[in-house]
Amino acid sequence: MKSRLLMGLALGVLLISMLGGCASAAAPSVTVEDAWGRPSMDMPTAGGIFMVIKNGGDASDNLLSGSSPACGSIELHEMVMKSDGTMGMNLMDHPIEVPAGGQVELKSGGLHVMCIMKNDDEFKPGETIDLTLVFEKSGEITIPVEVRKE
């Protein structure tokens, strides 16, 4: 009888510590969907890459940078209205935030990943390239990117 009570107490303590552990370790849970790319219309040596980044976790995360064997370098860009009224793209001066329980859409005409100095044998329609995204908390996530005509 006494050992049962002790067992119950031990289980209770275990449960409480597990719950406490979960609550204190808020973390992002990042996944990437529908990643695709295409040669850039404005920059012959570059390619735009688009995707939906989802975060099912309870903490936000930041996309900091990336790399790909098919690209000389990877930049994070945003589309902006230039002073002459036309659209251009800017290298972002801050990370892309993926809110807790939310998502960010990287799309044509908005935020996007730019493949600079693309390897034309790999970054071409019909091919699939690897892209590694670097997140502040989630670390590196490598995804396949399907290259299309448009």
For residue 114, the minimal CB distance to Cu ion (Å) is 4
Q: Note the maximum CA span of the chain.
A: 84
Stretch that binds Cu ion, among 7-15, 83-91, 101-109, 133-141 (CB under 5 A): 83-91
By the 8 A CB rule, do 46 and 116 touch?
A: yes
- 38 scored as a contact of Cu ion (CB under 5 A): no
For residue 49, the minimal CB distance to Cu ion (Å) is 9
CA-derived radius of gyration, the chain = 22
Q: What is the Cα–Cα distance from 60 to 136, expressed in whole angstroms?
A: 10
- 77 scored as a contact of Cu ion (CB under 5 A): yes
For residue 19, the minimal CB distance to Cu ion (Å) is 45
In 19-149, beta strands by DSSP E: 30-39, 47-55, 61-67, 71-81, 87-91, 96-98, 103-106, 112-118, 128-135, 139-147
Phi, psi of 5 (to 5 degrees): -60, -45
- 96 scored as a contact of Cu ion (CB under 5 A): no
Stretch (H or E) spanning 4? helix 2-24
Stretch that binds Cu ion, among 2-10, 55-63, 85-93, 129-137 (CB under 5 A): 85-93
For residue 95, the minimal CB distance to Cu ion (Å) is 16
Q: With respect to Cu ion, which residue has the nearer C-beta, 40 or 55? A: 40
Q: With respect to Cu ion, which residue has the nearer C-beta, 77 or 118? A: 77
- 118 scored as a contact of Cu ion (CB under 5 A): no
Residue among 122, 138, 131 at smallest CA distance from 74? 131
Among 49, 53, 70, 89, indicate the residue that binds Cu ion (CB under 5 A). Answer: 89
In the complex, which residues of this chain contact Cu ion (CB under 5 A)? 77, 89, 114
